[in-house]
Structure 1
Amino acid sequence: MGQPQEKSRIEFKSKVRATLFNRAGGKCSVPRCKNPTVGPFEDNEGAVNLGVACHIYSAAEDGPRGRGGKSDEFIGSDANGLWCCPSHASLIDKQKGKDYPANVLFAWKALAEARIRKQITDAPSPLGWVDSIEFVEFDGIRTPPKVSLSRNTLFFGPNCSGKTSLMEAAASVSDSRHGERFSGRIYHGRPAKYKALIKYSTVDTLSKTIEIQICGENLVRQEGATPCLLPPGDLEIIFCSERETRYKPHEDHVDFLMRYLNIDKSALFALTKVGGGNLLPGEIVFTQAIDIEYDDDDEEIEKKRYKIDDSPFMELRFKQAHGEYWVGLDNLSTSEHARLLLDLAITKAKETCKQKLTLLLIDGLLFNLDQRNFEVILNVLTESDFQTALSLPPYREADVLDRGAGEVSLKKFAYLEAWRLAILKRSEP
């Protein structure tokens, strides 16, 4: 019986290696990597090129990341190639490439090439990469939480593992109120101290770190030794938290959504003209709310609603695509309410990422979505042009997690292929 034939490989076409080298400016395409790929021989004249032209979708049918349904022409072209240093060329293919899905490598390729384009033409670009969020100081915790981010990341871990804390610290980069939960805490009779680092890359900066320091009532953003009086102009972190969906007594729907989305009224009206997105398609309008009361003869009386400051209470009304009736935001089902709020945040992220690096964080809003809607939102986020991280809802763990062989990993479903699981452990005091 003959030996089984090796599955066919599609090698790069001629000159692809040189093209990838040139498009990346001879530099490794992995964000924040400073490893050279070319340099002089030690004892001889001339130069040595150590870089590697890596396939994103695999040259072999059973290789890392597979073929992705792409044509042979695409697999062998420079569009499917990534220029890397030897270390990262080896790393991205480890464990069948599961930690480096294709959408991550394509994002890195685009960022690397945008950097070179900026150097040549000074063309601005919003591309970038948020690499990690970590606490380096967290009073009361022996090993502070930290996480490395992929293009799309699912946070998984028990209560008190730091999932929400990491998101809130990162969100404080763009909006300091998200760090208020840490404010005013006391540890051993003194104000508790917290320090978190958000590391990222942009077209203009290979490696940048924003430090969030919280002590007592004070929150300070800092880059190196320089305090940042304002949020950085090259990074936007959007945080969708269940906590932020609780109304405040003075708010109408306009006030609530401006706070939830951290935008002004003009931006809110512009976003809502788009209507519901892929999660809950439909139309949105704002109108003064009407309360129905009854007189002594049980006749309906319509009364305009006002806020506690006597200004009109503006209500969001929504009509689903192909629907007949307008429904107030407060009268939507719990699932519809969550999907509409997520749609608005996603619309904001889509607009923001046209101007600067954008990371969307989602915590708690997905707990009431069924499996079908959860799958839909993961697919929508996978197709978006911004980075995303979300906490895995406990009720969806059985649907997406494989706990075999004592390890936890994502199940082999198509809608999970682009996601990476970040496992956090319970923080020990």
Structure 2
Amino acid sequence: MTRHGFTSTTRHVIASRAGYRCSYPGCQKLTLGPAVAPDQYEDTGFASHIHAASLRGPRGQGGLKPAQLKHASNGIWMCGAHENLIDKKSGVRFPVNVLQSWKALHEYRTSFEHSGNQAAFGFVRTLRLERSPLFTPGTQIDFAKTTFLIGPNGSGKSAICEWVSILEASDNIRRWLANNNVHYDIIFDAPAEHRLSVQTEGILTLDLDGKTVSRNHARSSAVYLSGRGDNRIVCDLRRIMDLLQIDEFALRSLGTRVSGDFVKKVEFVQRTQQEDDEDELQRDDLDAPVYVLESHLTNGRVMRFEQLSGGERGRVLLELAMALAREGTQFGPTLLLVELKSLGMDWGAIQPYLDFFGSPECLYQTVLTSWELPSDVEMLGWQIYMVDGRPGEKGTVVASPRA
């Protein structure tokens, strides 16, 4: 049986792109060091195949040609222990898309550190649901660098995002406190492994690494963009503060550093007395100042939020959330959660952002929800889950099979 192994040159490329450190999340073991002899070194790492080198190997060959199987893009650098682990039982616990995402995240972080920056190594690895009103106990989501949650409205996609956002703040858990009994664990590396256990039974109970806490104190963050905000809030400043769950001064500062593809910066400007007078019948808090968002677009135009189309508003908010996630990656693992279809953007407008999330410049993890997939998402190497939560029943979350 023919085996399409890596050449010594290709092995060196795979190892070098990983900084000779294990790519398994949370490991980072250095696999290169001095030997006893002063003119020798020890190399204890392994260039593991993502698609199998031989026909019946772990994870199969996925229809790849021999040249593709032997290419550096099909290899991931591992220490001895994790090289053995990922190939056990034909690799069913570690499918192709998971290893591809590990490789991508590890190489991005290595590149970031090599450029002279301090990389905040870490990874939000797993959400395990022990008890919930929507899903079967034991349901588990293994987050890749980029993950899609696909399902119809009411299937539990928003619930998953709300539960994971506890890494940053507890406000999104509010609706689960009164009438729902939820228990779940989040496992993440920051850079050591941590487990945050969450329970809701009238009150919120958090347990971090075996210690009862009031909030997550491990260095990690989550940015949750659930949509375009509460339209009942007239003031753009307060609406976006509520949406992103940050205070006024943080939001104003963030607006000066957006620098995205669509918007260069945003400012919040108090409305004139005349504008307030025209709108007073729609407001409950007549004494509070109202601030409007002014978008300084990359095409040179300056437009108020209300003047933008629905999709353009979605782009402004998405780029604000991306800027917030970009800040977080400097200090710890960061997860950006975005409910795409709530932003009013079509796939044409979304595509450049998908390209960015899969690029070396994007150092944070991303979870996107939608009720459908764009036609070419399978080319992006993302982890895809089909979500089928059912209130009153026990639904499922199933990883989409990939070639």
Q: Shorter chain as normaliser: what TM range?
A: 0.7 to 0.9
Per-residue CA deviations over 1:142-166 (Å, capped at 9, x if unaligned) read 5464311111000123444432211
Give the drift of 1:88.
4.2
CA contact (8 A) 1:56 1:82 kept: no
- Correspondence for 2:290: 313
- Answer yes or no: is 1:12 the counterpart of 2:12: no
- Correspondence for 1:45: none
- Correspondence for 2:129: 135
Please show how residues 5-404 of structure 1 align to structure 2 within 5 Å. Answer: 11-13=7-9, 16=12, 28-31=22-25, 52-54=46-48, 75=72, 82-84=77-79, 85-88=82-85, 90=87, 98-100=96-98, 102-108=100-106, 125-139=119-133, 142-143=136-137, 145-185=139-179, 192-203=180-191, 205=192, 207-216=193-202, 218-242=203-227, 245-249=229-233, 252-275=235-258, 277-278=260-261, 280-290=262-272, 308=285, 310-324=287-301, 326-366=302-342, 368-383=344-359, 384-392=362-370, 394=371, 396-397=372-373, 399-400=374-375
CA contact (8 A) 1:56 1:106 kept: no
Give the letter aligned to residue 98 of structure 2: Y
CA contact (8 A) 1:154 1:422 kept: yes
CA contact (8 A) 1:56 1:65 kept: no
CA contact (8 A) 1:104 1:151 kept: yes
1:425 is matched with which residue: 379, 382, 388? Answer: 388
Identity rate, percent: 18
* DSSP 3-state at the match of 1:146: strand
Pair 1:271–1:419, CA change in 2 (3 A): same
Give the drift of 1:129.
0.9
Quote the Cα distance in structure 2 between the aligned partners of 1:283 and 1:17: 40
Pair 1:97–1:266, CA change in 2 (3 A): same
* DSSP 3-state at the match of 1:373: helix
Give the letter aligned to residue 290 of structure 1: T
Bigger RCO of structures 1 and 2 (CA < 8 A, at least 6 apart): 2
Quote the Cα distance in structure 2 between the aligned partners of 1:351 and 1:65: 40
Per-residue CA deviations over 1:1-20 (Å, capped at 9, x if unaligned) read xxxxx998751339949977
Per-residue CA deviations over 1:381-408 (Å, capped at 9, x if unaligned) read 223110001112x3x43x438xxxxxxx
Pair 1:418–1:183, CA change in 2 (3 A): same
> RMSD of aligned C-alpha atoms?
4.6
Per-residue CA deviations over 1:42-96 (Å, capped at 9, x if unaligned) read xxxxxx9985223679999x977979x99x9x949xxx75124333453799699
Pair 1:89–1:222, CA change in 2 (3 A): closer
Give the drift of 1:174.
1.4
- Correspondence for 2:36: none
TM-score by length of 1: 0.69
Structure 1: tracts of 5 or more residues without a match? 1-5, 38-47, 118-122, 186-191, 294-300, 402-409
Quote the Cα distance in structure 1 between the aligned partners of 2:139 and 2:76: 35
Quote the Cα distance in structure 1 between the aligned partners of 2:111 and 2:347: 38
Pair 1:169–1:147, CA change in 2 (3 A): same
* DSSP 3-state at the match of 2:269: strand
TM-score by length of 2: 0.73
Aligned residues: 365
* DSSP 3-state at the match of 1:257: helix
Pair 1:14–1:160, CA change in 2 (3 A): closer
Give the drift of 1:245.
0.8
Per-residue CA deviations over 1:336-365 (Å, capped at 9, x if unaligned) read 111111110001101111111100111254
Give the letter aligned to residue 208 of structure 1: H
Give the letter aligned to residue 374 of structure 1: I
Give the letter aligned to residue 9 of structure 2: K
Quote the Cα distance in structure 1 between the aligned partners of 2:243 and 2:164: 16
CA contact (8 A) 1:11 1:59 kept: no
- Is 416-425 or 339-348 further displaced after alignment? 416-425
CA contact (8 A) 1:52 1:83 kept: yes
Pair 1:374–1:106, CA change in 2 (3 A): closer
Give the drift of 1:248.
4.9
Quote the Cα distance in structure 2 between the aligned partners of 1:259 and 1:102: 36
Per-residue CA deviations over 1:215-259 (Å, capped at 9, x if unaligned) read 12x1122114311223324110111112x711454x622222222
Give the drift of 1:133.
1.1
Give the letter aligned to residue 83 of structure 1: M
Pair 1:111–1:335, CA change in 2 (3 A): closer
Give the letter aligned to residue 419 of structure 1: W
Pair 1:140–1:358, CA change in 2 (3 A): closer
Quote the Cα distance in structure 2 between the aligned partners of 1:18 and 1:389: 27
